[in-house]
Amino acid sequence: MALSLWGPDALNGPAVCGLAAYAAERDHGREGWLPARFTLELFKSARRIPTSLHTEVLRDGRRIKVVQVSVRQHDGDDEKGVLVAQGNTVFLKQGDNPPGARWSRTAADYDVPETADDDFHTWFHNDRLGWGSDMTKYQDGGRRRLWSRPIPVLPDVEQTPFQRAVISAEGTSLATNWGEGGIGFINGDLTVALSRLPVGDRLGVESDHHLEDSGVSAGTATLFDERGPYGIGMVTAVDNTRAMIDFTTVLPASAYKGDGPFTPDGERRGDDRNV
């Protein structure tokens, strides 16, 4: 489930972001403080090798705490490792809202599909088809929603709402960069802004904006759960047409068994796999 379609033995963005969220919350989370912003720079492809996590407090104030998270990978006897991702998590002290009304979209704007408890498929939505789980039918140039069930990043470690939010929010890149020919932009970062922690096992991402020029894109999305919107996701991405993923011919990485989505020669497996 953690393997990427971008390259052989590569980890996907949700897995790396989920690890960073886990480390920040494990080391510095506390009652009454919301992990309100998560930012991670994904500047080097992570692989399926030993990985270590390090956190450092940059600011510990009365109402704000800023934690830096570093993700390093170790090949062989390399104890120092190679830095593959780094970012900050900002914890804000919770309290009361200021008086007065402010505009916000209502929870009624976000309908969600009915799914079975044992259904781990991601569901997709556009205005033409509504909700469905057949990814191949949703490859177009329109606005879309995702409704996914984030899986834990570590075995035997209970997944928290914050981890689910970050893993789901990495879908901002898919929601905003997936077009008629597939996805040809690869994101090099993720920013998540939360007003509250999400509820439920399934979480949604709705594309809001996609801008692109000269091989660079910027995208934002609304993050929602069964109660309505709870946060915002943002990514910047760079052209990766040489490894463009066409979901009408290639299965998502999660559909493959232990041998992964690539052949030993580094070629992507097609949709004729017996899975």
Query: Each residue of 38-60: pLDDT tens digit?
Result: 999 999 999 989 999 999 999 99
pLDDT of residue 129: 94
User: Do 245 and 5 meet the contact criterion of CB atoms below 8 Å apart?
Assistant: yes
Cα separation, 164 vs 48, whole angstroms: 21
Query: Each residue of 230-261: pLDDT tens digit?
Result: 999 999 999 999 889 999 987 655 554 555 55
Domains of the chain, residue spans: 13-93+150-254
User: At 108, is the pLDDT very low, low, confident or very high (cuts 50, 70, 90)?
Assistant: confident
DSSP per-residue string spanning 170-202: TTHHHHHHEETTEE-EEESEEEEEESS---SS-
Cβ-based burial of 171 (10 A; exposed 0-12, middle 13-18, buried ≥19): buried
DSSP state of 226: T
Q: How large is the average pLDDT for residues 154-161? A: 94
Residues 6+ apart with CB under 8 A from 121: 115, 133
Alpha-carbon torsion angle 73, 78, 79, 82, nearest 10: -40
Of 1.20.1250.20, 3.90.550.10, 3.40.50.1000, 2.40.160.210, which CATH number belongs to 13-93+150-254?
2.40.160.210
